[in-house]
Chain A
Amino acid sequence: MFESLQENLSSAIRALRGKGRLTESNMRDGLELVRRALLEADVSLSVVKDFMEHVSEQAVGETVLKSLDPTQHLIGIVGRELVNLMGPVDHSLHLRSGISVLMLCGLQGSGKTTTCGKLGRMLRDSGRKPMLVAADLQRPAAIQQLQVLGQQLGLPVHADLTAKDPVALCQAAVKQAKASGVDTVILDTAGRLHVDAELMNQLTLIDKRLGPDQVYLVVDAMTGQDAVLSAKAFNEALELDGVIMTKLDGDARGGAALSVKQVTGVPIKFMGTGEHLDALEEFHPDRMAGRILGMGDVLTLVEQAQQKFDQDEMAKQEARLRKGEFTLDDFKKMLGQTKKLGPINKIMGMIPGLSSMGDMLDQMDAEKDMKRLTGIVDSMTPEERRNPSRVIDQSRRRRIAAGAGVEPHEVNELVKQFDGMADLMKRMSGMGVRDRMKMMQEVTQGGMLNPGAKFAKQKVGTGKRLSSAERAKLKKERERELRRKKRESRKNK
């Protein structure tokens, strides 16, 4: 008994509000679509799996907007979750009043040296006195490259063409900075593979000796599945504080952003959008989400649709109800929807305040009556549809009945039913749209069948269960904080 009741209820709600709720089954196609999009955008497989699981968990039970199909709606949810995952944003470099040290690291060719120049420029423009440090003693002409950038920007560059030890060089650079009134030191380290133990140790050593205030990993936006492995290794060797993603001026979908964020837990701060030194922008998760999905506009679309439905349409309907503009055309539409519901009238009948609607519907034999009623309404002029009880006199009633092939009293019945409905709608309208829907839903579904259900569950991002990976991430963050405190106290001595 309950089963069929539930079945009917869900179809009732579907008709009342879009295509119902997201379920494992009506999401299947959408989930596959999203999974593919993420993989094609180079989000690492493990991240995709976690994410899809999380999303379907989140999505099941959400009410689908009337204007969208479940797949579209799901993609909206995915967008929202992507944004949550890549956030929160933190564009601050957390500079101190004394000398701040920033360190850039990453794989070969990711864009470290260029980003050094970009950061230098940005800091200079904000009134700081930065110095660039050529700590890549490895790659041919790496030092000269940084020197050229320094020249272009009019910034000092600490370099030593004969140096052999990057650790000593960085230390000397900080010393020089203190002596020459520089307040921010940016270290350009050599590119290295995360599996190169020797070079990774060297990086750890620089980190230990220098105690940089911020350590950033520079990641190429075109990186594929490897992103998780390299980012993880760099994050383990160093205490990363942020990520800078480069080369986003091309057509790379940039799924690596998601992978890197997931494994390091640190915010993506900036993005490189060109080779020129002014091409550094703040990172925005929402833009990135659309890019990763390969459908930048879908998110906005979903938002718009949501707003439109929630506000525009509902408000309009609301206003029309208040003004008594609910017409026979609306009635017809509503009947058209309820037509498919079968015993919906029984359910309605159980709802306080809706019982009259239930009764009313009870008197109709859905299929046959619908055709008849539709015929009647169709035979009316627009004016008659808007204001049936006031406009329709005897001669009009006869004309309509003839057109619809019914008896004149049937026209009368319809008009009476409509009046009852309009009245009901008006009463409900006083409750406000959300309350009205909520009431209906809670009484029908929530109250009896599904105690946990909430109307249009709005995720605010709280109370998230933590996975073990996330717990580990938190732990790492705490450790990072501890280290920073230690660093500070050391420096202030």
Chain B
Amino acid sequence: MGLFDKLKQGLRKTTRLLNTDIRDLFKSEGRLVDEAFLGELFDKLVKIDMGVEAAQETVDEVGEAFRARVVQENDVLDKIKEKLKTLMAQPTAPIRFAATGPTVIMVAGVNGCGKTTTIAKLTAMFQADGKKVVLGAADTFRAAAVEQLTIWAGRLGAEIVTGASGSDPASVAHRAVAKALETSADVCIVDTAGRLQTQHNLMQQLTKIHRVLGKQIPEAPHEVLLVLDATTGQNGISQARHFTDAVQCTGLVLAKLDGTAKGGVVVAIRKQVGLPVKYIGVGEQADDLALFEPGPFVDALFADVG
């Protein structure tokens, strides 16, 4: 299955739901755009976790363009799509590779969002491009976190650097980059322990890891990916904000999009924090990763409505 199929598969449920919802708004002969209409539209957008503010903005735009007019669904959908596509636009190349030497990618996020699994998926993706990957198991805190990444490394045939349970995660990260330099690997991915963005000490620890990476390779980390669980609601905004403050995140990976959650909070995050989505996770296996593309993503959301 190609990546795009995967993406479409992952989004099918979302699409179906959203399509039906939007369609419900319209009668065949068109419908008057009034307060009730805009209210229903607002509800639909809130339902995909877009957040009150972003939903309101979209609704306002629709209201401005169509209020007091009788509309066909296409008019309104085009308007919403246009709005979402502009909002979610981002440079096409998701990973900024190092000009020379290993590209260092740091992965962070709250507890249980899918970091370690995402790292396995990224590894498989880079390997498919013929790249050599070294993993750094810098989650030395959670029970068997190291074993988890070690199992993935074994399955994928990637090199892994580990540390003792409870040891300094920054030093594991440091050794991982050293290993990548030493073995001329193309990519070094550093796993970090899950932490809530409000835990000051743990966020400082994350900043320290980030700093250590930069000392070894001036440009590193080249990417700092924040993994976001697609079921996350409005707290995602706080996550994006605080993690970006601590380690200058470069983008999001939206994991667990294979459920019924819409992950619409990324719209609010894009608006308020500016972080683009780079990849989406659509399953628990190593090949369950797809590139996030705003165009197809938004189109897929509204696919058979036109």
Contacts and interface: CB of A to CB of B under 8 A. Distances in A.
Interface of A: 36, 39-42, 45, 107-111, 113, 138-142, 144-149, 152, 193-195, 220, 222-227, 229-230, 247, 249-253, 255-256, 275
Given A145-B142, A148-B144, 13 more contacts: A39-B46, A113-B143, A138-B284, A141-B147, A146-B143, A220-B112, A223-B231, A225-B47, A226-B260, A247-B110, A249-B198, A253-B235, A255-B233
Interface in B193-250: 196-199, 229-236, 238
Nearest to A109: B112
A41 B237 CA distance: 12
21 contacts: A36-B52, A41-B234, A42-B49, A107-B256, A108-B114, A109-B114, A139-B284, A141-B145, A142-B144, A146-B143, A148-B143, A193-B258, A220-B231, A224-B236, A226-B230, A226-B231, A226-B262, A229-B260, A247-B110, A250-B110, A252-B233
Contact of A109 (B113, B155, B258): B113
A251 B235 CA distance: 7
Contacts of B150: 141
B48 interface: yes
A33 to B, nearest CB: 12
Interface residues of B, number: 45
Contacts, number: 138
Residue among B141, B148, B155 with the most chain A CB within 10 A?
B148
A386 to B, nearest CB: 55
Contact of B111 (A41, A149, A247): A247
Interface string B30-49: 00000000000001001111
A230 B196 contact: no
B151 A224 contact: no
Given A139-B284, A140-B148, A251-B197, A145 B143 contact: yes
B258 A220 contact: no
A107 B259 contact: yes
Interface in B121-173: 141-145, 147-148, 150-152, 155
Contact of B46 (A225, A227, A275): A225
A250 B113 CA distance: 14
A45 B43 contact: yes
Contact of B198 (A40, A193, A251): A251
B13 interface: yes
A222 B152 contact: no
Contact of A230 (B112, B144, B151, B259): B259
A378 to B, nearest CB: 51
B265 interface: yes
Contacts of A145: 142-145, 147-148
B55 to A, nearest CB: 9
Contacts of A148: 143-144
Interface of B: 13, 43, 46-49, 51-52, 110-114, 141-145, 147-148, 150-152, 155, 196-199, 229-236, 238, 256, 258-262, 265, 284
Contacts of A195: 13, 259-260
B200 to A, nearest CB: 12
A224 B111 contact: no
B243 to A, nearest CB: 12
Given A149-B143, A225-B47, A40 B196 contact: no
B196 A39 contact: no
Nearest to B165: A148
Contacts of A255: 233
Given A140-B151, A250-B196, A251-B197, A222 B232 contact: yes
B260 A222 contact: no
Contacts of A227: 231, 233
A285 to B, nearest CB: 20
A148 to B, nearest CB: 4
A108 B114 CA distance: 9
A161 to B, nearest CB: 12
A111 B236 CA distance: 18
10 pairs of A and B residues whose beta carbons are closest in the complex: A224-B233, A109-B112, A42-B233, A250-B196, A148-B143, A226-B261, A141-B148, A145-B144, A140-B151, A141-B147
A145 B145 CA distance: 8
B262 A225 contact: yes
A481 to B, nearest CB: 30
B231 A107 contact: yes
Contacts of B143: 113, 144-146, 148-149, 152
Residue among B46, B110, B196 with the most chain A CB within 10 A?
B196
A140 B137 CA distance: 14
A195 B198 CA distance: 32
Contacts of B43: 45
A225 B229 contact: no
A91 B111 CA distance: 25
B49 A224 contact: yes
Contacts of B49: 42, 224-226
Contacts of A152: 143
A35 to B, nearest CB: 9
B144 A144 contact: yes
A253 B110 contact: no
Contacts of B151: 140-141
B142 A275 contact: yes
B52 to A, nearest CB: 5
Contacts of A225: 46-49, 233, 261-262
A138 B117 CA distance: 13
Residue among A110, A144, A152 with the most chain B CB within 10 A?
A144
